[in-house]
Amino acid sequence: MVDVIEIQTHTQSLYEITGQLQSLVHSSGIEQGLCSLLIQHTSASLLVQENADPSAQHDLERWFNRLVPEHDPIYTHTIEGPDDMPSHVKSALTTTTLSIPVMNGKLALGTWQGVFLWEHRHRGSRRRVVVHIGR
Amino acid sequence: MVDVIEIQTHTQSLYEITGQLQSLVHSSGIEQGLCSLLIQHTSASLLVQENADPSAQHDLERWFNRLVPEHDPIYTHTIEGPDDMPSHVKSALTTTTLSIPVMNGKLALGTWQGVFLWEHRHRGSRRRVVVHIGR
Amino acid sequence: MVDVIEIQTHTQSLYEITGQLQSLVHSSGIEQGLCSLLIQHTSASLLVQENADPSAQHDLERWFNRLVPEHDPIYTHTIEGPDDMPSHVKSALTTTTLSIPVMNGKLALGTWQGVFLWEHRHRGSRRRVVVHIGR
């Protein structure tokens, strides 16, 4: 089963998509299997992170923004805006694909884990994540 | 087939889990397939790295500890200790899931590759890795 | 189906392998499924990135080379040359495995996405990528 989910982002931030994924897993009827994701963009990425305390997510964003600042003179690829090349770097530092086992009809995440789409552009966009669920 | 392996860690370090994974692959009886892993924590991560020379692993740890120091004033999420937020950052920089093809009944790793659980907390913990093996 | 593709690299650079992967997916006859990759080396890695404008790839390389310089006094694992330990770090910061859904008989990549082998050594090498394609 391959499906596409769309997430409208509005600004640079982490957007939790765990609920949408759990719904897809539920619909698939698969009890034991694997749920694999690909985000179809190179200026946003995927991340499994703590979803309990929002301060952890804020700190993550601040840390990455300091490591990968805008207006870095090293960049030559600047025609798409000052947040474009930093987005590609952050995408390379995190990941574009994830594979999450399914147990008892649910994503086998840890107690404090959520799946996030990390939007790296300021203006946001309509983002597409391809989801494969198989046995 | 979905299974869970537990690894007791004792301190910040890389713990090789290749042997345990090969045993699971062997038990599954699968000759050609895919072995996918998820670590159910956000302060430890997964890594495929050189397992021949321990100095490569030490240098990796030193490099990451310098890039992601404790007591960084950027952090606001500090209630779980000074090594908590650096652990989340290191987890984001490495990965939480891996997918390793199986060939001839074995993980199709390169000659010098091993699969590691990377514990980012000082005190260690009982860590859970979910393993899916399919065709 | 598990296959191995070999890519001859010549220098530190990103090598696009999307075409070779699409051919394998086509040969498999699988319409909806998952294509998973493992690079069998720890001094080269995998990346999904923009394949439209080569300047984005150049900037990525420059950024990573500045973050992970050679001749860093922190390294003790130096017997394989000054570009060896930086290669392991870059491999840890990017990834060794990818899982890409297949839709309508093709890798379900975004419009501007390509799959790259990232060679981190100066001299290059014959690199092996294991490819699993399943339903």
> Is C115 near chain A, with CB under 8 Å?
no
pLDDT at C96 (0 to 100): 98
Q: Is B4 on the interface with C (CB under 8 A)?
A: no
Whether the CB of B85 is below 8 Å from some CB of chain A: the reply is: yes
Asked if ipTM goes beyond 0.95, one says yes
Could you report how far apart the first and last alpha carbons of chain A are, in Å?
10
Nearest to B93 by CA among B130, B55, B43, B56: B43
**Which residue in chain B has the smallest CA separation from A59?**
B75
Burial group, residue C118, by CB count within 10 angstroms (0-12, 13-18, 19+) = buried
B6 touching chain A per CB within 8 A: no
* Cross-chain residue pair C66–A88, CB shorter than 8 Å: no
- C99 interfaces chain B, CB cutoff of 8 Å: yes
CA distance B73 to A62: 11
Give residue B38's pLDDT: 98
Q: Does B92 touch chain C (CB under 8 A)?
A: no
Q: Nearest-CA distance from B76 to chain C in Å?
A: 24
Domain ranges of chain B: 2-134
CA angle C58, A126, C34 (to 5 degrees): 70
List the single residue in B with minimal CA-CA distance to C68: B63
What is the structure's pLDDT at C12? 98
Consecutive sets of 10 residues in chain A, 135 residues long: mean pLDDT of each?
97 98 98 98 97 95 98 96 98 98 98 98 97 97
Which subunits count as partners of chain B given 3+ CB pairs below 8 Å? A, C
Structure tokens at B28: 């599954």
Name the residue among C126, C119, C129 with its Cα closest to residue C14.
Answer: C119
Q: In chain B, what percentage of residues exceed pLDDT 70?
A: 100
Q: Which of C34, C100, C133 to mutate to test the interface with A (most CBs of A within 10 A)?
A: C34
Multiple choice CATH, B2-134, 2.60.120.460, 1.10.30.50, 1.20.58.220, 1.20.1630.10: 2.60.120.460
Residues of A in contact with C105 (CB under 8 A): none
Q: Which pLDDT tens digit goes with each residue over B82-104?
A: 999 999 999 999 999 999 999 99
Mean pLDDT of C51-80: 96
Cβ-based burial of C42 (10 A; exposed 0-12, middle 13-18, buried ≥19): buried
Alpha carbon distances (Å) from B90 to A42, B56, B61, B109, C77 = 21, 17, 10, 23, 21
Among the partner residues A1, A72, A97, nearest to C100 by beta-carbon distance = A97
Please indicate whether, in this complex, the C-beta atoms of B42 and A33 are within 8 angstroms of each other: no
Structural domain A2-70+77-134, CATH architecture: Sandwich (2.60)
Q: What is the pLDDT of residues C77-120, one digit of tens each?
A: 999 999 999 999 999 999 999 999 999 999 999 999 999 999 99
**Looking at the complex, does the CB of residue B33 fall below 8 Å from at least one CB of chain C?**
yes
B123: which 2 tokens? 């005190």
What average pLDDT does the structure give for chain B?
Answer: 97
Q: Which residues of A touch C98 (CB under 8 A)?
A: 96-97
Contact A42 C99 (CB under 8 A): no
pLDDT at residue number A1: 93
Q: In sequence order, what E strands does chain B have?
A: 2-8, 13-16, 33-39, 44-50, 97-103, 106-107, 113-119, 126-134
Q: Region C115-135: what's the mean pLDDT?
A: 97
Q: Count of CB contacts below 8 A, A vs C? A: 96
Q: Which residue in C36, C93, C134 is closest to B135 by CB distance? A: C134
**What is residue A116's predicted lDDT score, i.e. its pLDDT?**
98
Contact B91 A53 (CB under 8 A): no
C69 to each of B117, C77, C89, how far by Cα in Å? 26, 14, 10
Closest-CA residue to B51 (of B117, B131, B7, B129) = B117
Cβ–Cβ below 8 Å for A99 and B1: no
Cβ-based neighbour number of residue A81 at 10 Å: 14
- C100 vs A36: CA distance, rounded Å: 8
Does residue C116 contact residue C123 with C-beta atoms inside 8 Å? no
8 A C-beta contact, residue A122 and residue A19:
no
> Do C63 and A36 count as a contact with CB atoms less than 8 A apart?
no
pLDDT for B127 equals 98
pLDDT at B68: 98
Cβ pairs bridging B and C (under 8 Å): 95
Looking at residues B105-131, what average pLDDT do you find? 98
Residue A15's contacts (CB-CB under 8 Å, 6 or more residues apart) are A7, A9, A116, A117, A118, A119
Shortest CB distance from C55 goes to which of A68, A76, A128? A76
Instruction: Give the chain C residue whose CA is nearest to the CA of B55.
Output: C77
Residue corresponding to tokens 């509005």: A10
Q: Phi and psi at residue A27, in whole multiples of 5°?
A: -60, -30
pLDDT for A131 equals 98
CB contact (8 A) between residue A59 and residue B88: yes
Q: Give the chains touching A; criterion: ≥3 Cβ pairs < 8 Å.
A: B, C
Interchain CB distance below 8 Å, A93 and B93: yes
* Total Cβ atoms within 10 A of residue A125: 14
